[in-house]
Structure 1
Amino acid sequence: MGLHDTPLLFDFELVSSEDLTYMPMSVRFNLDRFGLRISLAQWQLLPHADRALLARFPVDEDARIEPNFDHALFEMMRTHANVEPEWFTPEQDPVWRGTAAVPEGVLNHSREVAGTAVTLERWAALDPFKRYVLTKLTRKPEASHDFVPAMREFGLMS
């Protein structure tokens, strides 16, 4: 699969990420998946066109995009921020990939903030990228302002 025609944004991201001031979940996904880290300040040093290009990369489990994403990100960061992304070792088996159990953070946040627990059946039916998003939005103890809108968008609550 090639690049998408437009940046990959969920509806709940439009307010905060439409102008790409903040990193969209698609970029966060690829950064996490490939073990790369950049700060928000570094992201904002990139020209809008470069940020839009990074947000067009697929979010499929396809290792063929890794070198392209890596090379593009490294070149952009060197050119516009005079730094390189930091490397880290990605999780071998992140909880969002699993469909045998709903991650504790997602369960807790859905009960507390959304008023309804995500069922295993509905969790397993989500595509991996949506499971990643919900897990990412619940990594901290306090609720993300995007969690309930994401739950609605993903059909997990009305």
Structure 2
Amino acid sequence: MGLNEAPLLFNFEVASSENLTFIPMSVRFNLDRFGLRISLAQWQMLPHEDRALLARFPVEEDAAIEPNFDHALFEMLRTHANVEPEWFTPEETPAWRNAEAVPDGVVHQSLVARLRAPTPEQWARLNPFQRYVLAKLSRKPEGNHDFIPAMTEFGIAASGHDLR
């Protein structure tokens, strides 16, 4: 599988990524998949064209599909920032991979956002990347400004989303 034709951005990210000033979810997914960590400052040292290229890599769970993301990132960071990404060991079985159980963090973030948490059926209907995104947006106990727009875009929350 090759690169996508354009950077992979959800509608909710178009405004919040501010033209790739911030790290899009597709890049975060691949960073997590390969066990790489970069800072926002390092990301912003990369030319826009490099950031757009990294956002075009596929978001498949099978790391063998596109093994060049990590090589491209290393080369870009060495060239433009004279740094290397930090390594970490990725989680073997992250909660978002389980299509049968809504992760506690997503349930908590739903409560913070005054949304109904996804039902197990809704969670199961999401593709793995969408489940990753909701889990990633739910990793901290405080509210995330992209959570409600993501839930709405993924068809889980309606526009009038409060619980009443």
Give the TM-score of the pair, scaled to structure 1.
0.96
Give the letter aligned to residue 155 of structure 1: G
The superposition leaves residues 61-88 of structure 1 with CA deviations (integer Å, 9 ceiling, x where unpaired) of 2222453001100000000000000100
Inter-partner Cα distance in structure 2 for 1:12 and 1:150: 6
Counterpart contact for 1:36–1:87, Cα < 8 Å: yes
| 3-state SS in 2 of match to 1:43 | helix
Give the TM-score of the pair, scaled to structure 2.
0.93
Inter-partner Cα distance in structure 1 for 2:149 and 2:61: 25
Bigger CA drift: 124-133 or 103-112? 103-112
Inter-partner Cα distance in structure 1 for 2:21 and 2:36: 19
> 1:117 maps to which residue?
117
Counterpart contact for 1:34–1:66, Cα < 8 Å: no
2:52 is the counterpart of 1:56: no
Counterpart contact for 1:16–1:22, Cα < 8 Å: yes
The superposition leaves residues 103-144 of structure 1 with CA deviations (integer Å, 9 ceiling, x where unpaired) of 001012213314212100100110000000000001001011
Inter-partner Cα distance in structure 2 for 1:84 and 1:10: 28
Inter-partner Cα distance in structure 2 for 1:94 and 1:132: 9
Higher helix share: 1
> 1:108 maps to which residue?
108
| 3-state SS in 1 of match to 2:142 | coil
> 2:39 maps to which residue?
39
2:75 is the counterpart of 1:75: yes
| 3-state SS in 2 of match to 1:59 | coil
Give the letter aligned to residue 131 of structure 1: R
The superposition leaves residues 36-79 of structure 1 with CA deviations (integer Å, 9 ceiling, x where unpaired) of 00000000000000000000000012222453001100000000
For structure 1, which runs of at least 5 residues remain unmatched after alignment? none
Shift of 1:18: 4.5
For structure 2, which runs of at least 5 residues remain unmatched after alignment? 159-164
> 1:135 maps to which residue?
135
Counterpart contact for 1:9–1:18, Cα < 8 Å: no
Inter-partner Cα distance in structure 2 for 1:127 and 1:105: 18
Identical counterparts, % of pairs: 72
| 3-state SS in 1 of match to 2:67 | helix
